[in-house]
Amino acid sequence: MPQFRAPIRDFEFILNEVLNVQQYKEKGLKGFEDVDDNLISALLDQGAKLCEEVLFPLNQSGDEQGVSFDKGNVTLPDGFKEAYKTYIESGWTSFTCDPAYGGQGLPEVLNMPIIEMICSANLSFGMTPGLTHGAYNAIYMHGSDEIKQRYLPKMVDGTWSGVMCLTEPQCGTDLGLITTKATPNDDGSYNIDGSKIFISSGEQDATENIIHLVLAKLPDAPDGVKGISLFVVPKMWVNEDGSIGDANGVSCGSIEHKMGIHASPTCVMNYEGAKGYLVGQKHKGLRAMFTMMNEARLYVGIQGLGLAEIAYQNALEYAKERLQGRDLHGPKYPQKKADPLIVHPDIRRMLLIMKSFCEGARMLALQTALKLDVEKRSEDEQEIEQADHFVQLITPILKAYFTDMGHEVANLGMQIYGGHGYIREYGMEQYARDARIAQIYEGANGIQALDLVGRKLPKDTGKYLRSFFHPATEFVAEHRENSDMAEFTKGLHTALKNAQQASLWVAANGMGDPNEAAAASVDYLKLMAIAVMAYMWAQMALAAQKGIKENSSDSEFYEAKLDTARFFMKKVVPTQYGLLATIVEGAKPVMAARL
């Protein structure tokens, strides 16, 4: 049976020792008023308790039982409804939300660890609240005051959920092709007619109401993506006083049978004269949707991290306990019949790929969340802009790299378990199945790569890129003379050099022919991700060096951190050379080939 232990020490290391988030309390950033070591520690402990004791025990049973569908009704697996009740009663849904609607107004950077832990403990469970938060954001940013007043409080307290309804049978990535119709009524509302597919949590039995955010086309809509509008369409009508009225022409036609996330219903949703209200401006629905989508992309990235973490934890335990074969230098435990797997170099190599990803990705997730806090809450224009540029650049990288690595790490975990990894009982294969979807939904990873090379890289001759390259390059300059840091700044320097070379190649060649940028995009994204991760590892190495000097009682933790940083610099950064060599061969072999 797999186990889950929340990586509290690692969260605290990053929050307190690397990012020093407490400094934002002194700087007076909104939401950070109460942020100190005690608050951080209390939140992490409560989140860990929820995940370890309530959500994780339902993960395997939820996968086995799955969701069921009967005449339009969807039933979650046993225990999920009760767990959701516990979850909302503990206030987790309102964590970062605006106090004006009942939220706690806490920072994203403190919410991020909770999200990661939920993704480790029970990915399927996390879908409903995760999507609700996305829907909250879209309404909060683009809805009228009336809509906000009517819907947000119950979404904030979790009584109602929210879902995103984009995909139709004929359109996934290409939203210009949607055919769902919105017909204006005299009272300012609209009637929505059409069908949506792949709607996660589109129907479920844990909340009193489900607020659908639906992309549809008005009668006078221009063709393509410039003619899409966003509507809020509740499953049960909501009266002006906020009470629940009649059913609203929203029904679930069926649920999909999927490779994984069996405890999360993926619904075909039918809208037949369903009444709704416009969110934001006519024909500008895509913009509103992107508000929701950008944060959702970060959230999906964290799914990759969460699953990587649980796979790593269990594979590490297994490698320490399972006796098989002997150390190549001679028996390490001669009194036992065999040595543990962890003596074997390739097992160690796999574990270190897993570990260096999880810890580096955690750092990037938290650094990005902190930038989101600054972007949303600072009053310093320049600081806001810098934060925005960083988030813009990192979003596609984080989404694609974290989910690709989530799948890879889950598969490495299975590999370490050998045949037991393929058996359901041991839990590892579920992580691989669950991880697979994250590479596809919320913009398939190829779309993320196109976003990176098509929008983010060329933006204002590289201003988004500079939000990463400048501080990372400054870090190298600042610490390269520090002998403790030389091996790490050297690795980072190499990673940055490769990333700059690739960026220049893609920018220069993509300008002449967009196919050049597109054909390079996936390799480029990965190469950039490794550079970003190297920056994360260099920052953590610096903090670990400090930790060793100031907190010798915990030196094992810091030394292990340095070991993992070394592994990343020596054994992951060099993989960039293969990516770079492939990129510079250009698009011709791809575009000219007969298929």
Q: Which is nearer to a copy of itself, 233 or 587 (CB)?
A: 587
* Interface size with a copy of itself, residues (CB under 8 A): 95
> Considering the rule CB under 8 A, would residue 344 count as an interface residue with a copy of itself?
yes
> Considering the rule CB under 8 A, would residue 10 count as an interface residue with a copy of itself?
no
> Considering the rule CB under 8 A, would residue 413 count as an interface residue with a copy of itself?
no
In the bound complex, what is the minimum distance in angstroms from residue 525's beta carbon to a copy of itself? Answer: 10
- What are the structure tokens assigned to 288, written together? 């509103």
Phi, psi of 74 (to 5 degrees): -115, 130
Of 203, 375, 442, 516, catalytic: 442
- Spatial CA neighbour of 245 closest among 271, 212, 209, 279: 209
**Cα(332)–Cα(326) distance, rounded to whole angstroms?**
7
Binding map of a copy of itself across residues 492-531, x = CB under 8 A, - = no contact: ----------------------xx--xx-xx---------
Q: Which is nearer to a copy of itself, 177 or 244 (CB)?
A: 177
Say whether 442 is catalytic: yes
Do the beta carbons of residue 232 and residue 277 sit within 8 Å? yes
Give 338-343's long-range contacts (Cβ < 8 A, gap of 24+): 341/416, 342/316
> Considering the rule CB under 8 A, would residue 195 count as an interface residue with a copy of itself?
no
> Considering the rule CB under 8 A, would residue 432 count as an interface residue with a copy of itself?
yes
> Considering the rule CB under 8 A, would residue 440 count as an interface residue with a copy of itself?
yes
Query: Which single residue is written with the structure tokens 């009982």?
Result: 425
Q: Which is nearer to a copy of itself, 361 or 370 (CB)?
A: 361
Q: Which is nearer to a copy of itself, 85 or 588 (CB)?
A: 588
Q: Which is nearer to a copy of itself, 551 or 575 (CB)?
A: 575
Subset of 47-86 contacting a copy of itself (CB under 8 A): none
Q: 355-378: buried (b, 16+ CB within 10 Å) or exposed (e) per residue?
A: bbbbbbbbbbbbbbbbbbbbbbbb
Q: Which is nearer to a copy of itself, 188 or 589 (CB)?
A: 589
**Cα(397)–Cα(347) distance, rounded to whole angstroms?**
28
Strands 68-70 and 73-75: antiparallel
Angstrom CA distances, 194 to 167, 180, 183, 343, 536, stand at: 11, 4, 11, 58, 46
> Considering the rule CB under 8 A, would residue 346 count as an interface residue with a copy of itself?
yes
Query: Which single residue is written with the structure tokens 């109460």?
Result: 34
In the bound complex, what is the minimum distance in angstroms from residue 101's beta carbon to a copy of itself? Answer: 32
DSSP class of residue 221 equals P
- Spatial CA neighbour of 4 closest among 39, 47, 67: 47
> Considering the rule CB under 8 A, would residue 177 count as an interface residue with a copy of itself?
yes
Among 247, 259, 504, 511, binds a copy of itself (CB under 8 A): 259
**Cα(84)–Cα(448) distance, rounded to whole angstroms?**
31
> Considering the rule CB under 8 A, would residue 345 count as an interface residue with a copy of itself?
yes
> Considering the rule CB under 8 A, would residue 254 count as an interface residue with a copy of itself?
no
Binding map of a copy of itself across residues 295-324, x = CB under 8 A, - = no contact: ---------------------x--x---xx
Subset of 531-590 contacting a copy of itself (CB under 8 A): 556, 559-560, 563-564, 566-567, 570-571, 574-582, 585-590
CB atoms within 10 A of CB 442: 26
- The catalytic residue positions are 442
